[in-house]
Structure 1
Amino acid sequence: MKHISIEGSSKTVSQLIMGGDHFSESKYDLVSSLLDTFLANGGNTVDTAHQYGEDGASEKAIGRWMKERGNREQVVILTKGAHHDETGRRVNPQAITHDITESLKRLQTDYLDMWALHRDDPNVPVEVVIDVLNEHMNAGRIRAIGASNWSYERIQAANEYARSQGMKGFTFSSTNLSLAKMIVPRWEGCVAADEATCAWHAKTGLPLLSWSSLGGGFMAGRFSPEQRDNEEMVRTYYSEANWQRLERTKELAAQKGIPFVQLALAYVLHQPFPTCALVAAYSAQELHNNLAATDTTLSPEEVRWLEYGEQ
C-alpha cells in the first residue's frame, strides 16, 4: 500500500485509512480482527473521533487493541474533537483541551499522531485555534494538526497566521471528496471538495484525507433512481450527473475486470495532490475490497472521464 507524508507526523500515512466510527468494545472481536488484517496488508492509519460511540467507544476499542498488541509505534492515530453538541458550538480552547485530554486517556497513549478540529465555527478567530493547538504540540501531546470540514480559505488564513508567528499550522485537511458530488451539504457545516478546493490543494500540496469517499454508499451502488426512501441521500446525491458518473464507473470497472466500488475508491487516490481515503469496513470481505483499491491504477484521462465524461 502506498503511503504519504504528513508534515509533523514522524510516520508516513497509509493512503487507505481505516474508518473507526462504528468501533466499540461490544464488537471488539470484529474490530480487532479488522485492524489486524488492515495492519498486515500495509495499512497503518486509523480514523476515530472524541464523539464516536457512546462514552468514547471507538477510541476505547482502538486503545485496547493497541495495548494488547503492543503496536502503538506501528499505528498512526487520527482523531478529532471540538465537535458541536447540545450545548452549542465547541471550537474554543476549553473544549479543544478537554477533548484532547480525554482522547489520550481512551486511546491509552501519551501522544496523538494527528488531531483535527471536527467542525468549524467561523465566528472564532483562527488565531485562537492555532494558539491553543500549538500549546498542545509543544507539550508533545499532538504531532500534526488539521481541520475536518473547514473551508480552504479558513485553513489558509490559519496557516498564514501560524507562519507570521513562527508557529505550526494545519498540515492536512479532511473534507469530503468523492465521484458522487453533493448537490447540497449533507448537514450544516459539512464541507465537500469542489473545483476551487481541489485547485487550492493542487497549488499548495496540502494532503486531503477524504471522508465518505464513496458518497455515503452512492458509489457502492446501494441506491437507484427509483429508491427514494432515504431522504438525505435523495436530497444530497440524486442528480443526473451523479447517476452518469456511477454508470461510467461501472463501465470502466468492467473493462478493467474489477469491482466498480474499487474503482470509485481509486478515483479518490488519483488526484493531482496527496490524498487518502477514509473508508469503514463492516466485514472481512468489505475490507479486502477496500484494500484492493490501492492496487488500482488510473490515468489522468481516466480520472477526468469518470468525473466529466466525454469532453
Structure 2
Amino acid sequence: MNRIAIRGAKAPVSALVMGSDYFAPEKMELVSENLDAYEAIGGNTIDTAYIYAGGKSEEAIGLWLEARKNRDRILILTKGAHPDRNGSRMNRQAIREELAVSLERLRTDYTDLYALHRDDPDVPVAEIMTILNELVQEKRIHALGASNWTWQRLEEANEYAKANGMVGFTFSSPNFSLAKAQEPYWKGCVSVDEETLAWHERTGLPVFSWSSQARGFFTGRFTPEDRSNADLVRVFYNDDNWERYRRAELLAREKGVETIQISLAYVLNQKFPTAAIIGPQNAAELRSCHAAASIRLTEQEVQWLDLRLSERP
C-alpha cells in the first residue's frame, strides 16, 4: 500500500486510513477484528476525534493499542475544537482540555497527527498557530492538520507559521470525492471544489479525505429516481454527479473492477499526496478498499471522470 510522508510523523501515513466513528468498547470484538485485518493489509493510521461516539471511539482504540502492544507502529489522528452547543471551542483552554482527555482515552502520551475539527474564522490564525505550536513543543502532538478548513485559511495559517518560525499545517482533511457536494453534509463542513483542488495541486499539501466514497453514492444502490435517502439527495443528487457515476461505471467495466472502487481510486490518483479515510465494517468492505488502492488511473482518466475532459481518453 502506498504511503505519504508527513513532516513530524514517526512514519509515513498509509493511503487507506481507518475511520472509527462506529468504534466503542462494547463492540470490541468487531473493532479488534477490523483493526487487526486493517493492519494485516499494511494500514497504519487510525482516524478518530474527541467527539466520536461521545468519546467511545478513542476509548476502543486505546484498548486495542494496549492489547496489541503496537503503539510504536500505529499512527493516531485525533481531532478537537469542534464547536458544541455553547459555540466555538477554538481557544487554548478547550483545545488543551480536550487533547488531555483524548490522550487519556487513547492510553498514550502523544498523538501522531492532530487536526482542528472545524475552523472558527473569528479567531486569528496567529492565536491558533501559537496554541498548537505550544503542544508540538511539549511533544503531545507530532504533526498538525486542519479538518474542514478552506484553502484560504490554510494558506494564511501556513504563511504566518513560516514567517514566525513555527510548525504549520502538514495536511488538510476535507470532504473529497468524485461526487461533488452541492452543500455541506454537516454544518461547517468543507468540500474540495475546483479552487481547492488547484491550490493543493500548486502547494502539494496532502489531503486526508473523509467521505471519500460519497457516502455510498457509487455503490449502485441509488438511482436518480430513488430519492429515499434525503441527505444523499440533498448533497449529491445533480446531473453532473450522475454523469460522473456513469463514467465511473463505464471505466469500472473496462478495468474489471467495481464502480465504487473507481470512485476511491479517483481520490488516490491525484497530482498531490492523498489518503482516504475509510469505514469498512467487515472483511468484504476492507478487501474492496484494499483492491481499489491498487488501481492506477492516468491523469486523463482522472480528469475525464471529473468532467474536466469531455472526450474519453
TM-score bucket (shorter structure): over 0.9
Structure 1 residue aligned with 2:108: 109
2:52 counterpart SS class? coil
Structure 2 residue aligned with 1:292: 291
Counterpart residue identity of residue 185, structure 2: R
Q: CA deviation at 1:202?
A: 1.0
Counterpart residue identity of residue 173, structure 2: S
Q: CA deviation at 1:31?
A: 0.7
Q: CA deviation at 1:177?
A: 0.8
Give TM-score, length-normalised by structure 1.
0.98
Return the alpha-carbon distance in structure 1 between the equivalents of residues 221 and 193 of structure 2. Answer: 24
Contact between 1:82 and 1:95, CA under 8 Å: does it hold in 2? yes
Choose 181-190 or 58-67, whichever is displaced more: 181-190
Give TM-score, length-normalised by structure 2.
0.97
Runs of 4+ aligned residues of structure 1 deviating over 6 Å after TM superposition are none
Return the alpha-carbon distance in structure 2 between the equivalents of residues 171 and 191 of structure 1. Answer: 17
Structure 2 residue aligned with 1:86: 85
Return the alpha-carbon distance in structure 2 between the equivalents of residues 45 and 222 of structure 1. Answer: 29
Return the alpha-carbon distance in structure 1 between the equivalents of residues 268 and 145 of structure 2. Answer: 19
Q: How does 1:139-178 map to 2 (within 5 A)?
A: 139-178=138-177
Deviation per CA, 1:141-170, whole angstroms, max 9, x where unpaired?
Answer: 000011000001101111111111111111
Closer, same or farther in 2 for the Cα pair 1:104/1:270, shift >3 Å?
Answer: same
Closer, same or farther in 2 for the Cα pair 1:121/1:222, shift >3 Å?
Answer: farther
Q: CA deviation at 1:217?
A: 1.4
Structure 2 residue aligned with 1:39: 39
Structure 2 residue aligned with 1:51: 51
Q: CA deviation at 1:220?
A: 2.4
Q: CA deviation at 1:234?
A: 1.1
Return the alpha-carbon distance in structure 2 between the equivalents of residues 183 and 281 of structure 1. Answer: 25
Deviation per CA, 1:32-77, whole angstroms, max 9, x where unpaired?
Answer: 11111111111101100000013x1000111110110000011010
Counterpart residue identity of residue 245, structure 1: R
Structure 1 residue aligned with 2:263: 264
Return the alpha-carbon distance in structure 1 between the equivalents of residues 296 and 65 of structure 2. Answer: 32
Return the alpha-carbon distance in structure 1 between the equivalents of residues 181 and 172 of structure 2. Answer: 18
1:124 counterpart SS class? coil
Return the alpha-carbon distance in structure 1 between the equivalents of residues 148 and 199 of structure 2. Answer: 15
1:67 counterpart SS class? helix
Structure 2 residue aligned with 1:190: 189
Q: How does 1:1-311 map to 2 (within 5 A)?
A: 1-54=1-54, 56-308=55-307, 310-311=310-311
Return the alpha-carbon distance in structure 1 between the equivalents of residues 113 and 247 of structure 2. Answer: 35
Q: Which runs of 5+ in 2 are unaligned?
A: none
| Percent identical | 51
Q: CA deviation at 1:9?
A: 0.8
